[in-house]
Structure 1
């Protein structure tokens, strides 16, 4: 076994909290020479693959933020859902358990239940469209990139708002090493534990493997007094594992095979009704109870998310071009149930017995290299992409009512007075007659499966017109079929007999007119960009225009209405920006201004009176205008010798619906679900007017190794969850403070970290469902203190 000495890297990790490949320090001997210029190297561009080839981030004419694993750890980013803490303009929320909705600069999708996200997530080149599996653990990650704005040319399918690109560590042929991490955190009424490992093993000079895995337990955010169907709330149990095999027989060929799986068992759909509607108030729902992190649903909540992905990636380096081929198969499963009101009142419940997605993908890329003709001034990237999926519910059951008639007093909230006495007298009589039978008002079972198949070709060319000016032209042609594979409803009566009700053979469009059960979206989406480097300091100025499209969708999950067709979502984007360094290369400043015009936003609503549960519709048109800044700086380098690092960034947004008639939602006054509303002029959901973050980090070189301290801050001035802009369904402004103190023992390769998250114990929501009985929030994590130990050998 070869033990790698990473003391040099670890000693400068704190100074590198901004953005740098750790190898930069190893190559330049940063520790041996404590120079003020060290931070200048720390502020060098991170190598990214935002345009399908390795480039420095500051040479790419798009808005992008890139993070190393050390940066992510320093800011408490443990999964992709935490990225909003360090990425202004990004909102990632979870609701109904594991469903993740992502908004970027005012572009996102409320139709997360049966449609694909509008911000695409890629894990080592594999596109993940299944919303419950978008949240990914970040063990064994090489770097993470957040690409802002439509990426319709190179990333293609449904990347109308942007893309999150996670790049994994490749197996290394040189050394064998193991990284072990153990962490524990504690908050009020909550404990969280995790053990992780990453192992690299060279098998021969040309074959190597690596393994990444983690197991953990999370006691949830709710109070100890919370219950589920009268029992204690169980912890979530989490497992994730990955194995990657790499073969590189020569300098021309490199191939990798990756197998990864993840499983989470627990109560992921548990939510708190924090703001009841008038209907919720009538049945006695107390919003203050939910805001105190106390829940007591009558339904035995469960959620079981599983995913299995096998993928391959091969790279062929020819004299005149580079060729990459990617292929993957994905199998995801997410059975769960959901208490409609979130309380002990027996109103309605959803039980999803099967929620599966089977996905096949293949992509080939052709990239010019130094041997390509005209490579001294022309860069070419092209390829083709194929995608196939089947996804949906088989079946999902809706039960409305369910009162236990043998105990009417409990079912009605144990009322006192004369009514309570009367109910108490009836209880033993009904108990003898019904013998414990619960009688639902009705119980419906629905099968709703959607299928799709898509292929596309793309090309992008960048011409260096002069020494200081380049022009990029690109385009993508997409042909996608999406249709309903099966949609039908049966009713279950008291004796358990099921009666077929509907077997839908026709869908309905946005005007409730008959529509076929399948359709195609065909489109060509162009891109034009111009960038300038007119100054000797390498300042990049760019302007871009691009279009992107998200294919049409169907909601096959409806109990007593035909499947709903929703037309394709189209985005037109304009952006100008500048990337520059100031003050003797000690400050990196990125500025961007943008305008997005969207047509046919895909939206969803959930109501017992609207299709029995879920409905999809088109939110018409919207505009999103804004600007953002990102600053990374070495503070007082002559005094601190490059050890004090500061970051500050923010996004200002003005996003509104320019045309949204015939919108559906809950009335802000009555709480009753109503169609045919006009939401024109309202603010787009999940888009705060301002969000931003800041951090300050310093490193002291003390006996034994470096001591690092970081303070971080995130601010969000609030947003609406509903197009109605009902304050009941909103997240008021909030801020999150975090800090960590880390000490690295060089001789032992051991790092000990103390951390704190949400130090002010701010109440906030990570997501929300807008339902007939009120706002069911997925509550954000409370103040927690943690200890982590990382050991490498």
Structure 2
């Protein structure tokens, strides 16, 4: 009943738009406007989020955002630079429905519409991250630097039909710039304080052999001291440094045959879990009391290749994609008790190797019927070593884990356009996954060694992920759509001493109605949708449970079922040609409807039906006003606000939930452009708002037998800086 009422109320504006629109016209594909300035001139104000003219590949085809029956947001690379966005995590503030938080360089919590919640890296992501269409199987990539980006596409709702498992919440696709026949050089340099935040990046691209071979090379460096301080060691508690290199080679040997090869290498150094001990959710302390620096180091590298060729005999386009990605992590010395008492220390290493291959055949059967068929295979291999010492007891625990996963999939979508105004798309994907885990735990107390615990486990799953969408183009400027889709995330493994060694995957059915509109003069665009998610076997909580042989152990588990519904709205308005206002707002009601599986495993109850770190409301609004100064010179005044509603902290308290206060951050910039140069002064969090990025309520430490306190990580303070950019 609530769903019907919500749909009825929210779709009323869609109906009004349909009646108010002009008479039906032929729908034309819009050009790609993500980057329209030629070399030698400044880019000008970038197309903003909410623009429906941007060309995207959400359905593995190049289409105008206006034509895609998916709730999708595209953020251009220029917008990312102007907004000071340097990672996918930071880009979430510009995207409706996408919620990302982090408590370290190698950790990120992500969900879309409250679905696909991922709180720890041992759980497979519920929101898929793709770099140039290549799946990245770990949420730590969300913190990595964005270098020479063309755009980010965020697709909300299950995308399993085309993108596979682990996209039940949605998919994020980061697309780097492609080289062309034009020689081009770009650069971006910025400095901000008071934490000495430095960003430097540059790229060059152009033809080696015109029309045949083009190359792009980009490099970047970023570092900052952060705003947290470890007074016990006299060091910064949350520094961050990255060095990045990526390249693209585009080879066109003949006709429409295109081979694109991408490679990247990222070095990331930072801190994990720099929590301050706080008295409650209004105690915004930035003092960390650790006996160890909690540094973490990662190396990411990979290469992928895409071959595209037409097969004219069957009116088709064939695509073959292959990739290899690797990650290595080292944590040399961490404080495992989160406090000033030197009770527990840990160190460890981990590695992840991923290989994928995918083939697609896009066939035009007739003027009204086309198909997209494909096969997919991936292999993941991960290892992890941890050494934890309990100093007062002279106890050392060594843990080794190794997991392997093979996934096979076949997928297909039929697109039927009986008229220019209607489209029906029906897709289906079959995924077969096999995962295995081998682990051992060795414990020594002084000179005495306890028997080594060995544990092996396996998981298998066979899943079908369908999607049906119906699209109606009322005019060349207005469309509406309705869709239903199912998404799935694979299960995983707990430690050998956990009461449950494995947990199964979770899944969601999503029902959605949406509409998109662009005015004839492109001065106004609007995109809105309402949705309902039926989310089963939710893997969203980790807890403390009794360990085999005594003590406690952290477990990931299926916590129950979730109901999620809400609405999203994006808009871009240009009152005059040199003034752009854009923004979005999201309402999400995501609640646990059955948490009995959590109680069955842990013997505990939950104090709230809210989902951890998920706000009910979020939004952003930005204004860019450009003042002509004569000739090509301009001055752009930018102001914006990003906001989140109250959120449930991570808590195991059975009676009293802890909620984090809502917040709004004000950002501003002034940008001067002349020819190929631009100079900007900017301020982020201008009003010095205090807010929490992450928070753990004291019960977790108490259950672990450690000195209890709430733990919090405070968000960044005000940064004021300057930026220089060029494009030749």
TM-score (norm 2): 0.88
Give yes or no for contact 1:111–1:616 (8 Å, CA) kept in 2. Answer: no
CA drift of 1:792 comes to 2.7
Q: Counterpart in 2 of 1:551?
A: 490
Residues 732-762 of structure 1, C-alpha deviations (whole Å, 9 max, x = no match): 201111011111121xx11111111111111
Separation in 2, partners of 1:197, 1:324 = 31
Separation in 1, partners of 2:668, 2:531 = 33
CA drift of 1:308 comes to 1.1
Alignment partner of 1:151 is 2:159: yes
Q: Counterpart in 1 of 2:345?
A: 349
Residues 79-133 of structure 1, C-alpha deviations (whole Å, 9 max, x = no match): 1011222112211111254211211111123452212110000001110012222
Give yes or no for contact 1:97–1:270 (8 Å, CA) kept in 2. Answer: no
Separation in 1, partners of 2:382, 2:47 = 49
Q: 1:578 aligns with which of 505, 515, 520?
A: 515
Residues 201-249 of structure 1, C-alpha deviations (whole Å, 9 max, x = no match): 42222122111111232112214xx335455658433211112222111
Q: 1:46 aligns with which of 25, 31, 54?
A: 54
Separation in 2, partners of 1:39, 1:108 = 29
Give yes or no for contact 2:650–2:695 (8 Å, CA) kept in 1. Answer: no
Mapping of residues 379-778 of structure 1, within 5 Å = 379-393=370-384, 395-400=385-390, 402=391, 439-440=392-393, 442-484=395-437, 486-495=438-447, 499-505=450-456, 517-534=457-474, 536-555=475-494, 557-558=495-496, 560-561=497-498, 564-582=501-519, 585-605=522-542, 607=544, 612-635=552-575, 637=576, 642-663=577-598, 675-679=602-606, 682-703=609-630, 705-722=633-650, 729-746=658-675, 749-769=676-696, 771-772=700-701, 773-778=708-713
Give yes or no for contact 2:145–2:242 (8 Å, CA) kept in 1. Answer: no
Residues 42-75 of structure 1, C-alpha deviations (whole Å, 9 max, x = no match): 9551000000010000100110010111111222
1:291 alignment partner, SS class: coil
Separation in 1, partners of 2:471, 2:568 = 18
2:615 alignment partner, SS class: coil
Q: Counterpart in 2 of 1:416?
A: none
Residues 114-161 of structure 1, C-alpha deviations (whole Å, 9 max, x = no match): 121100000011100122223232221111111011101011121000
Separation in 1, partners of 2:647, 2:724 = 37
Separation in 2, partners of 1:322, 1:581 = 30
Residues 347-384 of structure 1, C-alpha deviations (whole Å, 9 max, x = no match): 33332x2111111111111112xxx331x111321211
Cα distance, 1:700–1:737 mapped onto 2, change above 3 Å = same
CA drift of 1:728 comes to 6.6
CA drift of 1:662 comes to 4.2
Separation in 2, partners of 1:579, 1:197 = 36
Give yes or no for contact 2:50–2:570 (8 Å, CA) kept in 1. Answer: no
Q: Counterpart in 2 of 1:62?
A: 70
Structure 1 runs of 4+ aligned residues shifted over 6 Å read 29-32, 38-42, 725-728
Cα distance, 1:775–1:364 mapped onto 2, change above 3 Å = farther
Q: Which moved more, 1:749-758 or 1:226-235?
A: 226-235
Give yes or no for contact 2:590–2:610 (8 Å, CA) kept in 1. Answer: yes
CA drift of 1:606 comes to 5.1
Residues 313-371 of structure 1, C-alpha deviations (whole Å, 9 max, x = no match): 111122211111111111111222542343212233332x2111111111111112xxx
Give yes or no for contact 1:132–1:305 (8 Å, CA) kept in 2. Answer: no
Cα distance, 1:630–1:346 mapped onto 2, change above 3 Å = same
TM-score (norm 1): 0.81
Separation in 1, partners of 2:498, 2:368 = 58
Separation in 2, partners of 1:232, 1:44 = 43
Separation in 2, partners of 1:498, 1:244 = 53
Residues 531-588 of structure 1, C-alpha deviations (whole Å, 9 max, x = no match): 1123x35311111011111122112x35x33662111211101000111235865221
Give yes or no for contact 2:49–2:572 (8 Å, CA) kept in 1. Answer: no
Separation in 1, partners of 2:66, 2:608 = 36
Separation in 1, partners of 2:656, 2:54 = 41
Q: Counterpart in 1 of 2:4?
A: none
| RMSD (CA atoms) | 2.9
1:81 alignment partner, SS class: helix
CA drift of 1:603 comes to 3.2
Q: Which runs of 5 or more structure 2 residues have no equivalent in the other structure?
A: 1-30, 702-707
2:90 alignment partner, SS class: helix
For these two proteins, the number of residue pairs brought into alignment is 680
Mapping of residues 97-496 of structure 1, within 5 Å = 97-172=105-180, 174-187=181-194, 190-205=195-210, 206-223=212-229, 226-227=230-231, 229=233, 235-275=239-279, 291-319=284-312, 320-336=315-331, 337-351=333-347, 353-368=348-363, 372-374=364-366, 376-393=367-384, 395-400=385-390, 402=391, 439-440=392-393, 442-484=395-437, 486-495=438-447
1:109 alignment partner, SS class: strand
Is the radius of gyration larger for structure 1 or structure 2? 1
Separation in 1, partners of 2:563, 2:133 = 30
Give yes or no for contact 1:564–1:617 (8 Å, CA) kept in 2. Answer: no
Give yes or no for contact 1:385–1:456 (8 Å, CA) kept in 2. Answer: yes
